[in-house]
A and B are shown apart, each in its own frame.
Chain A
Amino acid sequence: MPMRDDVRSLVEPGRVHRSLYADPEIFELELERIYGQAWIYVGHESEIKNPGDFIATRIGRKPLLLARGPDGAIRLVHNQCAHRGVMVIASERGHTDEYRCCYHGWTYELDGRIKAAPLLHGYPSHFDAKRSDGMGRVPRVASYRGFVFGSLAADGPSLEDFLGYMTTSFDDMVDRAPDGEIEVAGGTFKHRYRGNWKLYLENLCDAAHPLFVHESSIVAAKQQADDAYSDGFGEIAVRQMRQNGAPYSFWESNVGIWSYPNGHSFLGDYHDDAKLVAALNHPVFRDYMTALEAKKGKDEARRIVEVRRWNSNIYPNVSFMSQFQQLRVVHPISVNDTVVHTYNFRLRGAPEQMFANTIAFANIVNGTGSLVLTDDLEVYNRIAFGLASEGPEWIEIGRGFASDLPDEHGGRRGKNSTSEVYIRNMFDAWLSYMAPDPGRQARMAPPRLAAGAGGRA
């Protein structure tokens, strides 16, 4: 029986202990060691285009503010007043030249330093407003092609080293814009489920679930004409609902799964633009190709649309669909409470109607009232109910274990898309954060887990 204070024993080849999804103490340790170490996606530069723009964001449960400073630099600070702890900014976004606390009027520069505070006299020697960290900066913030990440750890790999080969998925997302820029647009879905945060990314590259989970929307979509809307829009969303009903032979012969260091992965070779979109011969897509070719040249335009990636997962908290301009951010709240924010991107230089299709795809496939996502949420909830029964001790993640292959870019891939290699890969990363090598562990705070707590030892 695994000891609760020995997380290394909770991950074995091809299986993990159920407590990884159900134990509140392990969850707290994950916030500290994973969300406290890794690069966490916090926003997109298009949300803070101009100096003074800010958005509310978070790492784990910590509310943060992401802003563009007057010097154009990206700033990420804790949303906490240095005086009495008030959350300084209560709005989701805005434009300002300073943050001002509502309680006693302390003001801050956008990098968190104290700008001014009334009645600043008589303080003891430990407090010096001029030298104070103020609201407190997140130690590291960096951006890759507009995607901004923060790390609560002062030391660690650079963002590009952390992303590794997955930078190519971000490249794919951005390269699809004829003008070479994308921007967050169209609002944010915010949905919640009563299950563990890890389930979300695990599901997004799971090729073996759609046929079962999405049966209700597969059957309903098969009985409707191609276009979702009477004016012809939303066609791809309806096709996607039907595509979820593809037989195993499709997933085993056409589609692949690739995984890379630090827990990242993508499901690839899925939708072929040449078949899925170009074959529609829709005038909007023809206009898009013309715009892309004009800016990038014919060969490069062809190369771009032939990249076929479904969800790209950046462990631990973000997943995006470069082909459909959607991005989802996972926010762990408690062991069985997770909030997900879903964003859409507009391709600069593409016909405006392309974005209408992005919106339709979001509504129908990924949205809060979607015909598809709602059944996924039910599964996450049921996993939490199921694990509460404390039946089988281990969670099996071994499919394809014996047939995985090395990848030329330093990762591992499944023999085909049904391999759970990407989940095993996430737990390799999980272990590297949760139970680092002994030398490194000695420098970390001792685990909060009480030895033998819960009596499972």
Chain B
Amino acid sequence: MSQVDTLRPGVTATARTLLDRDTCEAFLVREARLLDEAQFHDWLALFTPDAWYWVPSQPNQASPREMISLIYDDRKLLETRVRRLASPRIYSQEPRSRTTRIVANVTIEEKAENGRAAIVRSKFQMLEYRRDSQTIYGGSCFHRLIVNDSGIRIAWKRVDLVNCDSVLDGIVVPF
């Protein structure tokens, strides 16, 4: 498999792929790379059609319905978010941010469907650089990953920022 192929979403998974820790970690690293490279459409393609993406506004937030969230998108709104990111008139991304992320401490929290579904916990730090300033974000990510005919996909992703309830600048680039 060429280097380029390994960067495309899902192509490294086959119908026989099992979600062991190393496979999940490699997937999360690839996801982070797509985001760092601003390949948002390819990132979106990692999600299942009924996926949701959630950045709570409170520690241990129980529900996205009862309480505000920094981001709560299901697949439909996530598509709109990604379309907006591609707009040449997205002024909050003029100039564009550059980000660099580190993904670590990957653990499998729960396995299901004979290793073809898993809830994966990881830690991340993201440095966002834009217009002469750098912002550090960090926290825990929870992914529910599944294996389908296309490869590994994200059924949901929850990002718990360590400072989720702090005063924040606008958040435009997803975590």
Give A contacts to B, CB under 8 Å: 185-193, 213, 215-217, 219-221, 223-225, 227-231, 234, 238, 339, 344, 355-356, 359-360, 362-364, 367-371, 373-375, 377-379, 382
Determine if B92 is an interface residue (Cβ-Cβ < 8 Å): yes
Interface string of B150-175 (1 = CB under 8 A from A): 00000000000000011111111000
Q: A216-B87, A220-B80, A374-B172 are in contact. List 4 more A-B contacts (CB 8 A).
A: A190-B168, A215-B89, A216-B90, A227-B76
Closest to B56 in A: A187
User: In the complex the two chains form, what is the Cα distance from A360 to B74 in whole Å?
Assistant: 11
Task: Looking at the assembled complex, report how far the CB atom of A179 sits from the nearest CB atom of chain B, in whole angstroms.
Answer: 19
Q: Are A378's CB and B91's CB within 8 A?
A: yes
Cross-chain pairs A/B with CB under 8 angstroms, 30 sampled? A185-B66, A190-B168, A191-B169, A192-B168, A192-B169, A193-B170, A216-B87, A216-B90, A217-B80, A219-B83, A219-B84, A219-B87, A219-B89, A221-B80, A224-B83, A227-B76, A229-B77, A230-B76, A359-B66, A362-B68, A364-B77, A367-B71, A369-B69, A370-B170, A371-B80, A371-B84, A374-B171, A378-B92, A378-B94, A379-B91
Q: Are A189's CB and B57's CB within 8 A?
A: yes
Neighbour of A367 across the interface among B50, B70, B169, CB < 8 A? B70
User: In the complex the two chains form, what is the Cα distance from A185 to B91 in whole Å?
Assistant: 31
User: In the complex the two chains form, what is the Cα distance from A344 to B57 in whole Å?
Assistant: 13
Interface size on B, residues (CB 8 A): 36
Determine if B12 is an interface residue (Cβ-Cβ < 8 Å): no
Contacts of B46 in A (CB 8 A): none
Knowing A191-B170, A362-B68, A367-B68 touch, does A377 contact B74 (C-beta < 8 A)?
no
Contacts of A339 in B (CB 8 A): 167
Number of A-B contacts (CB under 8 A): 121
User: In the complex the two chains form, what is the Cα distance from A369 to B172 in whole Å?
Assistant: 6
Q: Are A359's CB and B74's CB within 8 A?
A: no
User: In the complex the two chains form, what is the Cα distance from A370 to B169 in whole Å?
Assistant: 11
Within 8 A of A (CB), among B90-138: 90-92, 94
Task: Looking at the assembled complex, report how far the CB atom of A277 sits from the nearest CB atom of chain B, in whole angstroms.
Answer: 19
Q: Are A228's CB and B68's CB within 8 A?
A: no
Q: Are A216's CB and B84's CB within 8 A?
A: yes
User: In the complex the two chains form, what is the Cα distance from A230 to B47 in whole Å?
Assistant: 15
User: In the complex the two chains form, what is the Cα distance from A188 to B87 in whole Å?
Assistant: 29
Q: Are B76's CB and A225's CB within 8 A?
A: yes
Neighbour of B69 across the interface among A221, A224, A367, CB < 8 A? A367
Neighbour of A363 across the interface among B68, B76, B79, B89, CB < 8 A? B68
Knowing A216-B91, A228-B77 touch, does A359 contact B168 (C-beta < 8 A)?
no
Give B contacts to A, CB under 8 Å: 50, 55, 57-58, 64-72, 74-77, 79-81, 83-84, 87, 89-92, 94, 165-172
Q: Are A189's CB and B84's CB within 8 A?
A: no
Best-surrounded residue of B64, B71, B170 (most CB of chain A within 10 A): B170
Closest to A367 in B: B68
Closest to B89 in A: A215
Neighbour of B84 across the interface among A220, A230, A360, CB < 8 A? A220
Contacts of B58 in A (CB 8 A): 187
Best-surrounded residue of B76, B90, B91, B165 (most CB of chain A within 10 A): B91
Contacts of B167 in A (CB 8 A): 190-192, 339
Best-surrounded residue of A359, A363, A364 (most CB of chain B within 10 A): A363
Contacts of A367 in B (CB 8 A): 68-71
Task: Looking at the assembled complex, report how far the CB atom of A64 sits from the nearest CB atom of chain B, in whole angstroms.
Answer: 18
Q: Are B91's CB and A375's CB within 8 A?
A: yes
Task: Looking at the assembled complex, report how far the CB atom of A183 sits from the nearest CB atom of chain B, in whole angstroms.
Answer: 13
Q: Are A368's CB and B76's CB within 8 A?
A: no
By Cβ-Cβ distance, the 9 closest A-B pairs, closest first, are A374-B170, A216-B87, A216-B90, A369-B171, A220-B84, A369-B71, A220-B83, A215-B89, A378-B92
Q: Are B84's CB and A234's CB within 8 A?
A: no
Best-surrounded residue of A215, A362, A378, A379 (most CB of chain B within 10 A): A378
Neighbour of A186 across the interface among B55, B66, B171, B172, CB < 8 A? B66
User: In the complex the two chains form, what is the Cα distance from A227 to B79 in whole Å?
Assistant: 13
Contacts of B57 in A (CB 8 A): 187, 189, 368
Neighbour of B77 across the interface among A223, A234, A368, CB < 8 A? A234
Q: Are B170's CB and A377's CB within 8 A?
A: yes
Task: Looking at the assembled complex, report how far the CB atom of A82 sits from the nearest CB atom of chain B, in whole angstroms.
Answer: 29
User: In the complex the two chains form, what is the Cα distance from A379 to B94 in whole Å?
Assistant: 11
Closest to B49 in A: A230
Q: Are A189's CB and B68's CB within 8 A?
A: yes
Contacts of A229 in B (CB 8 A): 74, 76-77
User: In the complex the two chains form, what is the Cα distance from A230 to B77 in whole Å?
Assistant: 9
